[in-house]
Amino acid sequence: MAGFKGNKSTLPRKICAVCGREMVWRRSWAKNWAEVKYCSAACRTAKNCLPDSTGKAST
């Protein structure tokens, strides 16, 4: 695999909605970068286990 030839610090970044981890743009997300909310499959499944503003986990 050829490495990225540009400056990686200029790639777009987002914060994961579940864990707060910073995500850096990936080529696989190019077509749907606007819809990307989670950094991993684990965070995507954990989104339903987080408590909402009432203190109850959404199911």
Domain boundaries, the chain: 12-26+35-46
Report pLDDT digits (tens) over 34-53. 999 999 999 999 887 766 55
The rounded Cα 33 to chain-centroid distance in angstroms is 9
Residue 33 pLDDT level (bands cut at 50, 70, 90): very high
CA 34 – CA 7 distance, rounded (Å): 22
Q: CB within 8 A of 11, min separation 6: which ones?
A: 24, 25
Residue 45's H or E segment, with its range, is helix 41-46
CA 24 – CA 50 distance, rounded (Å): 23
In the predicted structure, residue 21 carries a pLDDT above the cut 50: yes
The rounded Cα 24 to chain-centroid distance in angstroms is 8
- pTM beyond 0.85: the answer is no
| Model pLDDT, residue 48 | 75
| Model pLDDT, residue 1 | 38
